[in-house]
């Protein structure tokens, strides 16, 4: 088992944002986390990504607690946050170069990765345009690209298609499928759109009010 959440729980004062969540991902799977706004998806993802500590419970990566050993997971993790995190006064290419350097890429390797990712997200011919002139869908694609430069083994995506045009949305869904099939990337995909997770996922966890209320096997 690649990743496992065990009785994962997060309380914010009175709010039980995440309440004893159990889920797992096998290597090579696309797993969906489906639920309405406020269900606890982002909080679950934040704990799995080691961004916030759980109130109780644990997350295990290859059977080791990430609370004790966060670095092993962080090194192979790509996170696409719900909020777009880009520099609007930089070009697409400059943004990717910046995120690549954060992942300690440089020189010819950085150039190669940036070119590869630009092609993958379909922005090669817009690479020198400033992000502030991009559509919502293009920004989303670039946000995803920023998480792919270091070729993560596990990609965690937090509602990556919210508020964009259908064409960009389809492009993103197809890109996730390709990453999974061609690069064997394992994906945890969060959404409130049933049809997206049905299209993408091997298994879907349905979440509401902090709890997993159902698990559905699609393929």
Q: Should residue 213 be labelled a site residue for ligand ADP when binding is judged by CB under 6 A?
A: no
Of ligand ADP, Mg ion, none, which one does residue 60 interact with (CB within 5 to 8 Å by kind)? none
Q: Should residue 191 be labelled a site residue for ligand ADP when binding is judged by CB under 6 A?
A: no
CB of 84 closer than 8 Å to CB of 139: yes
- Give the Cα separation of 171 and 177 in Å (integer): 10
Neighbours of 137 (CB within 10 A): 20
Chain-centre distance of CA 108, in angstroms? 27
Of Mg ion, ligand ADP, none, which one does residue 15 interact with (CB within 5 to 8 Å by kind)? ligand ADP
Pick 42 or 175: Cβ nearer Mg ion: 42
Q: Should residue 54 be labelled a site residue for ligand ADP when binding is judged by CB under 6 A?
A: no
- By CB under 6 A, name the one of 1, 15, 72, 132 that touches ligand ADP: 15
Question: Degrees (nearest 5) of the Cα angle 182, 188, 191?
Answer: 115
Chain-centre distance of CA 103, in angstroms? 16
Of 80, 18, 32, 24, the C-alpha closest to 192 is: 32
Q: Should residue 81 be labelled a site residue for ligand ADP when binding is judged by CB under 6 A?
A: no
C-alpha to C-alpha distances, 92 to 9, 87, 132, nearest whole angstrom: 37, 9, 10
Site for ligand ADP in 19-48 (CB under 6 A): 35, 37-43
Pick 149 or 158: Cβ nearer ligand ADP: 158
Site for Mg ion in 25-84 (CB under 5 A): 41-42
Chain contacts with Mg ion (rule: CB under 5 A): 41-42
Chain contacts with ligand ADP (rule: CB under 6 A): 12, 15, 17, 35, 37-43
């Amino acid at each position: 088992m690649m990743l496992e959440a065990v009785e994962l729980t997060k309380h914010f004062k009175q709010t039980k944002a995440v309440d004893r969540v159990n889920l797992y991902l096998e290597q090579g799977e696309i797993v969906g986390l489906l639920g309405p706004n406020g269900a606890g998806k982002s909080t679950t993802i934040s704990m799995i990504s080691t961004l916030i500590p759980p109130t109780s419970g644990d997350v295990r990566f290859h059977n080791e607690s990430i609370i004790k050993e966060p670095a092993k997971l962080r090194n192979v993790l790509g996170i696409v946050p719900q909020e777009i995190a880009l520099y609007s006064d930089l070009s697409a290419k400059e943004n990717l170069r910046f995120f690549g350097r954060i992942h300690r890429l440089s020189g010819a390797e950085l150039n190669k990765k940036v070119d590869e990712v630009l092609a993958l997200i379909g922005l090669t011919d817009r690479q020198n345009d400033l992000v502030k002139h991009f559509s919502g869908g293009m920004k989303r694609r670039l946000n995803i690209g920023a998480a792919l430069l270091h070729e993560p083994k596990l990609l965690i995506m937090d509602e990556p298609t919210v508020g964009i045009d259908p064409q960009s949305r389809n492009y993103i869904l197809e890109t996730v499928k390709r990453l999974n099939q061609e690069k064997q990337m394992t994906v945890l995909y969060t959404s409130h759109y049933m049809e997206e997770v049905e299209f993408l996922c091997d298994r879907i966890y349905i979440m509401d009010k902090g709890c997993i209320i159902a698990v559905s096997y699609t393929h």
